[in-house]
């Protein structure tokens, strides 16, 4: 059960331009039989931006372009003055160099690893003291420190969602992308997890893009909304 007063021990970040700027054109499955094309231009400031649209609208394609898992034919993607992709300047950072965290609908937790080891998996290049410090801090932020020694099969679906978020955020990304990872949860649990995420982001101030096809989640989950239809932003 998740309850109690949260204690955030992290230090506030220095102010700077942390806005995610995206302007891309991407053909989906290029070929004569495909007419779909993503043409999106947006600026996502720190906080939760919900990207909503029907299946096939281009939501996941947009996130994959930002993460570097798919390459646009044209455009530019930057976090402040940190350029991730620029077709004109031939800049294309590899996904591991972008400092972009991506949580998919399939959480892909390692079933043979305990919660603490799942969370620390992306910190293998750091010394043991720093790994443990970050792991302890992020588990506390998401109220799952008491689950550290359990395996994924021994915790609930909502707790698994928190572990997946903690594993992504422990690497201290500059942007967080969420591709419907909470869709299987009940509305109350979903809102509680988003509240924890907002609490964590109070001192980090990073853009969070949350993809959904459910219009009812707009007011509950996001500070802002972007509506995609047939590859284009309409609202």
Residue 80 contacts residue 56 (beta carbons within 8 Å):
no
pLDDT of 10 reads: 46
What pLDDT digit, counting tens, does each position of 49-107 carry? 999 888 888 999 999 999 999 999 999 999 999 999 999 999 999 999 999 999 987 77
In the chain, ranges of CATH 3.40.50.300 domains: 17-99+174-235
Cα 10 to chain center, whole Å?
A: 20
* CATH fold of the domain at 17-99+174-235: Rossmann fold (3.40.50)
Which runs of consecutive H residues, i.e. helices, occur in 145-209?
157-169, 187-201
Note whether 197 and 189 are within 8 A (CB).
no
**For residue range 8-17, what is the model confidence (pLDDT) as tens digits?**
444 444 446 8
DSSP conformational letter for 10: P
The tens digit of pLDDT for each residue in 196-234 reads 888 888 888 999 999 987 766 666 666 788 999 888 888
Q: How confident is the model at residue 172 (pLDDT cuts 50, 70, 90)?
A: very high
Which pLDDT belongs to residue 77?
Answer: 98
């Amino acid at each position: 059960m998740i309850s109690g007063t949260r204690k955030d021990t992290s230090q506030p970040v220095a102010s700077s331009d942390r806005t995610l700027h995206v302007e891309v054109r991407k053909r989906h499955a290029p070929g004569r039989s495909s007419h779909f094309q993503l043409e999106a231009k947006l600026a996502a400031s720190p906080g939760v931006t919900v990207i909503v649209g029907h299946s096939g609208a281009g939501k996941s394609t947009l996130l994959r372009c930002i993460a570097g898992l798919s390459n646009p034919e044209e455009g530019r993607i930057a976090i402040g003055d940190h350029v991730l992709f620029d077709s004109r300047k031939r800049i294309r950072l590899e996904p591991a160099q972008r400092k972009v965290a991506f949580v998919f609908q399939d959480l892909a937790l390692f079933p043979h690893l305990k919660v603490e080891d799942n969370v620390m998996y992306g910190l293998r290049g750091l010394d043991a003291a720093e790994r443990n410090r970050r792991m302890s801090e992020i588990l506390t932020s998401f109220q799952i420190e008491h689950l550290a020694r359990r395996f994924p099969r021994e915790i609930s679906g909502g707790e698994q969602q928190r572990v997946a978020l903690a594993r992504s955020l422990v690497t201290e990304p500059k942007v967080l992308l969420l591709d419907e990872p909470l869709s299987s949860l009940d509305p109350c649990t979903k809102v509680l997890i988003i509240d924890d995420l907002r609490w964590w982001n109070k001192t980090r101030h990073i853009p969070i893009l949350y993809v959904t096809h459910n219009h009812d989640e707009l007011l509950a989950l996001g500070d802002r909304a972007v509506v995609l239809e047939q590859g284009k932003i309409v609202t």
